[in-house]
Structure 1
Amino acid sequence: MTEATILVDASTDRVVVTLNRPDVRNAIDQRMVDDLHDICGVLESDPRVLLVQGSGGTFAAGADIGQLRERGRDDALRGINSGLFDRIRRLPMPTIALIEGYALGGGAELAYACDFRLGTPTTKIGNPEPGLGILAAAGATWRLAELVGEPVAKEILLAGRILDAAEAHALRLLNEVVEIVEDGDLLAAGHRWADRITASAPLAVRLTKALFHAPREAHPLIDDVAQAVLFETTEKRDRMSAFLDRRKKKP
């Protein structure tokens, strides 16, 4: 039997996905794309925080070059990776990329599609696709400029710049750089971020994420409609009552 391309650890409020092709530095092949689509389907029907990490000390060193070499025009127009990463971007609850080692090419674009990115001192992020005769077509050409600004995005996309952890953190492409003392420290940091997210009302988080990515012309109407939905929830009343009770108890 072929080993699974991803490993899944699911709980009530989050799902941890581990990219599991360490022998090829977790290169993203068609099977992994299909498996990640399956996870997206699960999280669309049962929204939970998603944490994505790599195995073997690497997040993902890119798409599978052997498969890319054989793809033609029609494969490109199918949007194999871009469709997946856009689906990940649109997941109802926040997503967290845990980037140890390299996140290059498609691996970087997977990380860009997540809401938060945590790294380690070994993290390296970039898009060297033009060196292989192609371009970063799975979100980097537009998403990266939104994340780090046009000048740096052009350095990465056009001049092959690879960001180290300190540079990526200074640009806020990494939300945190985790010093690794023992195995599992990066995942533990990811769980702390997930804990902060899940401490809030899930529906409020979901709607806030949806509004954040909505077109500018949709505001402020959709904000008012979303707030109207939340105003009618039991959780809103319970949380506000608890807040007022705590305030009354303060000396």
Structure 2
Amino acid sequence: MNTLVVEEFADRVVVTLDRAKQRNAINTEMISELHEVCALIEHNPKLLLLTGQGDHFAGGADINELRARTREDALRGINRNLFDRIAALPLPTVAAICGYALGGGAELSYACDIRIASPNVLFGNPEPGLGIMAAAGASYRLPTLVGVSVAKQVLLGGRTLDADAALRSGLVVEIAEDPLAAAHALLDRVAKQAPLALKLTKKILDAPGSHPWADDIAQAVLFETDDKQRRMTAFLEKKK
């Protein structure tokens, strides 16, 4: 791939945005290659770790391309469809973020389930200053992640969130000097969990509204799995 470095391991796929000279700005080629990664993970579900090459996660979308986009391009939802696809991946996704996560880069990070940040991280959505809006998921993901008030401060008031503000608001789970190593450590813990339990939990968490019957049905499925029997037996024997 030309814009990504993709490493596939037994339990996870590590994807590094690889346009460091452009602060990993998200262009059409990167979007296409990220769709290829999604197809890979959808076919063979694994955990996803997303990070950026160099000093930044992603400084935004490619402005040269954005300037040339038309009404028809906007209606195709080019970035939004990709980020929605990433958000819908079957197993947990983690973003390890250094430096800038701005514009489309911020929205890409919002699409991940969990974010770990470096001390110098900066989240923001400056799109209105360029005459457009953050239309790749920020309007419905960011309020869920940080609350409506903080989301409005970012999306309407031009506020940026540094590491401490991102941690206080719940946007990131941890500030780490080496966010990539911390993300791997988190995924090491996640990888020990039952894959089907993770898939169903994520599916239900992401479903809108209250869904007690869905919880019951998912639990009924899990109660009948060999994995549940094996794990609970091992727990009880260890306890003895």
The TM-score by the shorter chain falls in which range? over 0.9
Match of 1:224 among 216, 223, 235: 216
Q: Are 2:235 and 1:243 equivalent residues in the alignment?
A: yes
Match of 2:82 among 84, 87, 94: 84
Report what 2:70 is aligned to. 72
Report what 1:198 is aligned to. 191
Count of aligned pairs between the two proteins: 240
Percentage identity across aligned positions?
Answer: 57
Report what 2:147 is aligned to. 149
TM-score, normalized by length of structure 2?
A: 0.98
Query: How many Å apart are 1:215 and its aligned residue?
Result: 2.7
Per-residue Cα deviation, 1:14-70 (whole angstroms, up to 9, x for no partner): 010000001110000000000000100111111111000001110000000000000
TM-score, normalized by length of structure 1?
A: 0.93
SS of aligned partner of 1:103: strand
Report what 2:8 is aligned to. 10
Report what 2:94 is aligned to. 96
Question: For residues 13-162 of structure 1, what are the structure 2 equivalents within 5 Å?
Answer: 13-162=11-160
Point out where structure 2 has 5 or more consecutive residues left out of the alignment: none
**Hey, what's the Cα distance between the residues in 2 that align with 1:55 and 1:97?**
13
Displacement over 3 Å in runs of 4+: none
SS of aligned partner of 1:216: coil
Matching residue's letter, 2:104:
G
RMSD of aligned residue pairs (Cα, Å):
1.0
Matching residue's letter, 2:223:
F
Query: How many Å apart are 1:224 and its aligned residue?
Result: 1.7
Point out where structure 1 has 5 or more consecutive residues left out of the alignment: 180-184
**Hey, what's the Cα distance between the residues in 1 that align with 2:209 and 2:224?**
25
